[in-house]
Amino acid sequence: MMEIMEGSHAVAEIVKYCRPQVIAAYPITPQTHIVEALAQMVANCEIDAEYITVESEFSALSACLGASAAGSRVYSATTSQGLALMFEVCFNVAGMRQPVVMSIANRSLGAPLSIWNDQQDSISLRDSGWIQLYAEDNQEAADLHLIAYRVCEDHSVLLPAFVCFDGFILSHTYEPVDMPTQEEVDGYLPPFVPYQRLDAKDPLSMGMYATPEYYMEFRYEIDRAMQRAKQVLVRAGTEFSEQFGRDYTGLVEGYRLDGADTALVAMGSICGTVKDAVDEMRDAGKKVGLLKIRTFRPFPAPEIADALRDVGTVAVLDKNISLGNSGAVGTEVKAALYGSGIRVLDYIIGLGGRDVRKEDIAKIVDLAEKGEGDMFYGLRTEVL
């Protein structure tokens, strides 16, 4: 049913339909509306979950790890400083192969302290073994949670996932969302069947330590699971499309790339702005398109290379900066296109909530076509 919903509420609603048994989360702007909504649902008996009011994000994810290891479907949500506090647990959850699903209402990382959006938080955890999905709008933010649970809990994957959606830009914005019913969700997402669990009837030691004889093989296995997650994502996305009529078949999504000379590459809500800008530029006769990266981990390098094979120039929009190098997405897209002869330029944009408008996208395309890039875009030079 179509409803006008705040992004956070759309996420909370879909999470409810996913029937997590244990929820552990700690409030942090701009994630708060999700956890408040879930707490209210628990208080109203609309959802049959244990809600653990933990004393920190570190404990939130640790509790999720324990509950998942004991065989329950779990949920958490955080952002920014909260995610940074979880750093150690994040690597642990992935290494212990627990299919935890966590929403990230993307926000910048201090210092300076900022509550506004960029994607530095989740991108900084790109090596942690979590699947990372980025939503363009509230509908996608909701839908990706369903897909995430399906994929994470698949016994050929058994990895955790971040479902990322931009803080404030989506989390606090009302948009029409087609919310499925509980029956529809149940038809798509089967009950959680743990691969193995803590159980006195069948003892198992979990999270043992590995000597150099074994450590590398365990890391290799996690990476292989990540690779397998690609096919499982495509399968889950295809089935989702069949059941709900919204297309999630690809790890990346091309927009007006046919015949494009220049392609923009972006993740998250900025894709909406880029699409509008592309439409305007196309109307003006400019051959421009967009490649939206929905799945950042596992990184769809061949899919990106394939989608961009016919363009001459690529402009990557990075809402993050690997300080001392460049934007993370730019670096990886360059690697994906290595040897193709395609020129790839990186633009650091929108850090800490800096607005990016359609005009900026057009200007970036101009810069890219002139070969000017690998730079911060939109700096207020007057304060420097």
Record the tokens describing residue 142, joined without a space: 């909701």
Residue type, 284: A
Stretch binding other proteins (CB under 8 A), from 136-144, 212-220, 246-254, 349-357: 212-220
**Residue with the two structure tokens 């972006």:** 266
Record the tokens describing residue 249, joined without a space: 């078949």
- Do 236 and 147 contact (CB within 8 A), yes or no? yes
Residue type, 40: Q
Q: Report the C-alpha gap between 131 and 294 in whole angstroms.
A: 11
Nearer to other proteins, 74 or 148 (CB): 74
Each residue 128-167 as x (binds other proteins by CB under 8 A) or -, in order, gives: ------------------------------x---------
Nearer to other proteins, 98 or 313 (CB): 98
8, 32, 78, 98: residue in contact with other proteins (rule CB under 8 A): 98
Nearer to other proteins, 64 or 356 (CB): 64
- Do 20 and 51 contact (CB within 8 A), yes or no? no
- Do 51 and 79 contact (CB within 8 A), yes or no? no
Q: How far is the CB of 25 from other proteins (least distance, A)?
A: 12
Q: Which of 52, 48, 100 is nearest to 75 (CA)?
A: 100
Q: Which helix (H) or strand (E) holds 318?
A: strand 313-318
Nearer to other proteins, 187 or 207 (CB): 207
Q: Which of 354, 355, 359, 336 is nearest to 346 (CA)?
A: 336
Q: How far is the CB of 180 from other proteins (least distance, A)?
A: 24
# residues contacting other proteins (CB under 8 A): 52
Stretch binding other proteins (CB under 8 A), from 122-130, 201-209, 239-247, 310-318: 201-209
Each residue 16-45 as x (binds other proteins by CB under 8 A) or -, in order, gives: -----xx-x---------------------
Nearer to other proteins, 45 or 284 (CB): 45
**Cβ count near 203 (within 10 Å):** 7
Q: How far is the CB of 219 from other proteins (least distance, A)?
A: 10
Q: Report the C-alpha gap between 384 and 371 in whole angstroms.
A: 25
Nearer to other proteins, 218 or 338 (CB): 218
Q: How far is the CB of 223 from other proteins (least distance, A)?
A: 13
Q: How many whole angstroms from its chain centre is CA 308?
A: 22
45, 111, 200, 323: residue in contact with other proteins (rule CB under 8 A): 200
Stretch binding other proteins (CB under 8 A), from 107-115, 122-130, 202-210, 359-367: 202-210
1, 2, 183, 205: residue in contact with other proteins (rule CB under 8 A): 205
Each residue 49-68 as x (binds other proteins by CB under 8 A) or -, in order, gives: xx-xxxxx-xxx-xxxxxxx
Length of the chain: 384
Stretch binding other proteins (CB under 8 A), from 96-104, 114-122, 138-146, 307-315: 96-104
2, 204, 323, 383: residue in contact with other proteins (rule CB under 8 A): 204
Each residue 66-85 as x (binds other proteins by CB under 8 A) or -, in order, gives: xxxxxxx-x-----------
Record the tokens describing residue 311, joined without a space: 């363009």
Q: Report the C-alpha gap between 140 and 156 in whole angstroms.
A: 24
Residues between 334 and 373 with contacts to other proteins, criterion CB under 8 A: none
Return the half-sphere exposure (C-beta side, CA atoms, 13 A cut-off) of residue 373: 27
Nearer to other proteins, 181 or 196 (CB): 196
Q: Which helix (H) or strand (E) holds 11?
A: helix 7-17
Q: Which of 146, 133, 221 is nearest to 181 (CA)?
A: 146
Q: Report the C-alpha gap between 28 and 269 in whole angstroms.
A: 20
Q: What are phi and psi of 165, to 5 degrees?
A: -145, 140
**Residue with the two structure tokens 């640790």:** 62
Q: How far is the CB of 117 from other proteins (least distance, A)?
A: 28
Q: Does 101 bind other proteins (CB under 8 A)?
A: no
CA angle 352/355/359 to nearest 5° reads 145
Q: Which residues contribute to the site for other proteins (CB under 8 A)? A: 21-22, 24, 48-50, 52-56, 58-60, 62-72, 74, 88-89, 92, 95-98, 158, 195-196, 198-200, 203-211, 214, 217-218, 221
